[in-house]
Chains A and B, each alone.
Chain A
Amino acid sequence: MTEENRIDIERLTTLARIELEGSERVKIIDSLDEILDYFKTLSGVDVGGVEESAHAFPLYNVLRDDKVGPVFSAEDALLNAPEQRDNQFVVPKIVE
């Protein structure tokens, strides 16, 4: 597939930390090519000297007072944990 040549799908799935398998993998690769082609429409726009817009309206450095407010209890924070023990998240072993 030409898409495989253009898009380094292995690198992309590694960056995104997503396993793609079977027919879904094929469908997504195919559609990425078409959509990225569509994105190319923008290459004709002259943006020389134009500033980037990251937000709709200019709001800078919105800070709150440096006071401790209400915080989550460990119990609340662990409410949706896939696995927990002794008030902590249980995760796979990451050091040998």
Chain B
Amino acid sequence: MDDEIFFKSAQRLSAMLDRREISSVELAKAVIERAKQIDSKIGAFLSFDEAKTLREAEESDARRKKGRPLSVLDGIPVSLKDLIAEKGQPLTCGSKILENFVSPYDATVTERLRAAGCVLWGRLNMDEFAMGSSNENSAYKPVANPWNIGCVPGGSSGGSAAAVAAGETILSLGSDTGGSIRQPAAFCGICGLKPSYGAVSRYGLVAFASSLDQIGPMGRSVEDVASLFQVMAGIDKKDSSSFPFRKPNYLAGLSKFSSLKRLGVPKEYFQGGLDSEVRKALENAIEFYRSAGHEIVEVSLEMTKYVMPAYYIIATAEASSNLARFDGIRYGFRSKATSNAIDIYFKTRGEGFGEEVKRRIMLGTYVLSNENFDSYYRHAQKVRTLIRNDFMRVLGEVNAIIAPTTPTVAFEFGKKKFDPLQMYLCDIFTVQANMVGTCGISIPCGMSSTNLPIGMQILGKPFKEHEILSLAYEFESAHGCKNLHPKI
């Protein structure tokens, strides 16, 4: 099973493409066949255009034949979460309100993947407008966890994580507003990087909370994630929040950086509510770093208990503003229940949005309304400053922070769906990075007794993705978690 083409790493496949041991068309066919065989059980794809994908693979083969590949990823299938624009393809955001929407342009990341020769394969399922932690909020269908199809894959990038874990694609892109790359990566046993805010252009990403959203790479190994990040990252004049930073060679640097660092373990993340098996796996990982010669120090993130409420105030406020554009006038679904100009907004949004999206728009509207603005929204923005100061103080003392990605392993369908607040708390360890704007990676660090993956999170300083990638690579090299695949 592990020798199957669709479970090989992008690095390995790239070498095979170079040596003509496989063609890009054969590779594309392998993942397409795999998806056709198993996606009725997984539900990772919302749509795909097989003919288009095969055309792109043929073009890649032609380039390789001429000895002119565009990058190491030329000819490698990459699948996009269905909120990243790909010209001519559907873009639903997992919502009925965009059911028939077709992207009129490419997102900047999509352009960059094309420029690197990646073969774009399919549109991946997600929680509606990236709001959710279990993928149960997709308006179309749930996604199952490839390790146990009775469990959720996490969210909101549940399709992106499940497709990679199940071998239905080689690499994928997700987006992370409060943990939406790292949490599903942890639940599905893959690697997912949430880049520093501004490292990757948001042009062509449908906005949820603009000051928190980032697109990031997901794959089955740290090397694969590093190579995809290499082609995505960098300043873009189409995104005014795109940040100028030095972009090193992430892949080449993987084995160079991690020599003897000071690593912080936040004590607040190991208090009540953390599953005992997750705790044990993390303690083992910390012990690994200690015995490898790194200095481990306990640190305190004193603002931890305020991060979640501040995050949800800010995220819902920004969402209520961003989602005002879905009004049934210029694009997307328009209700046929009325022809009255004002009612059309109410009916279109009432029929087009799902329950969780409505809940968050209502929350955001509440915290932004005249009488609550100061006590909720402005207050939360000030708390955000304190959260940032707290985090940067700790990152002044250590090089990186080691933490669990999630308090538990993947849970069963329906377990939290009817308790929104419990669902929000799934992201308790991940929202910090978004509030601060820094980078974080989740990698597999063990399996539970129920055979579900456990994720470790490494948080770094802003724009020091190469440092956390190296630390992740050091662990992965010693543990071989990347060679574990679910049996479907």
**CB-based contact B366/A38 at 8 Å:** no
Q: Does B208 touch A at the CB level, under 8 Å?
A: no
CB proximity to A under 8 Å, residues B361-409: 361-363, 365-367, 369, 375-376, 378-386, 388
| Chain B residue nearest in CB terms to A79 | B104
CB proximity to B under 8 Å, residues A39-96: 39-43, 45, 47, 50-57, 59, 62, 64, 72, 76-77, 79-83, 89, 91-94
Chain B 191-205, CB within 8 Å of chain A: the 1/0 string? 000001110000000
Instruction: Give every chain A residue within 8 A of B320 (Cβ-Cβ).
Output: 16
A51 to B387, CA, bound (A): 12
A36 to B334, CA, bound (A): 31
Nearest chain B CB to A15's CB is how many angstroms away?
5
Instruction: Give every chain A residue within 8 A of B379 (Cβ-Cβ).
Output: 42-43, 45, 47
A94 to B344, CA, bound (A): 11
A4 to B347, CA, bound (A): 22
CB proximity to A under 8 Å, residues B56-102: 100-102
**CB-based contact A39/B313 at 8 Å:** yes
**CB-based contact B349/A17 at 8 Å:** yes
Nearest chain A CB to B149's CB is how many angstroms away?
27
Q: Does A1 touch B at the CB level, under 8 Å?
A: no
Q: Does B306 touch A at the CB level, under 8 Å?
A: yes
**CB-based contact B305/A41 at 8 Å:** yes
Nearest chain A CB to B253's CB is how many angstroms away?
23
Q: Does B359 touch A at the CB level, under 8 Å?
A: yes
In the complex with contacts A55-B211, A80-B100, A24-B339 CB distance below 8 A:
no
How many interface contacts (CB-CB < 8 Å) are there between A and B?
169
- Across the interface, B420 reaches (CB within 8 A) one of A13, A31, A39, namely A31
**CB-based contact A38/B309 at 8 Å:** yes
CB proximity to A under 8 Å, residues B324-344: 324, 327-334, 339-341, 344
**CB-based contact A16/B312 at 8 Å:** no
| Chain B residue nearest in CB terms to A28 | B359
CB proximity to B under 8 Å, residues A1-25: 7, 11-13, 15-21, 24
**CB-based contact A7/B358 at 8 Å:** no
**CB-based contact B346/A19 at 8 Å:** yes
Nearest chain B CB to A87's CB is how many angstroms away?
13
**CB-based contact B241/A80 at 8 Å:** no
- Across the interface, A41 reaches (CB within 8 A) one of B306, B329, B375, namely B306
In the complex with contacts A21-B350, A52-B382, A89-B365 CB distance below 8 A:
no
**CB-based contact B420/A35 at 8 Å:** yes
Instruction: Give every chain B residue within 8 A of A57 (Cβ-Cβ).
Output: 197-198, 243, 437, 462
A82 to B313, CA, bound (A): 33
Instruction: Give every chain B residue within 8 A of A12 (Cβ-Cβ).
Output: 362, 365-366, 369
| Chain B residue nearest in CB terms to A58 | B243
Nearest chain B CB to A54's CB is how many angstroms away?
6
In the complex with contacts A39-B312, A59-B240, A17-B327 CB distance below 8 A:
yes
Q: Which 3 A-B pairs have the closest CB atoms?
A: A56-B437, A19-B350, A82-B334
Given contacts A15-B365, A32-B359, A47-B379, 9 further A-B contacts (CB under 8 A): A12-B369, A19-B350, A39-B380, A47-B386, A59-B198, A80-B100, A82-B328, A91-B341, A92-B344
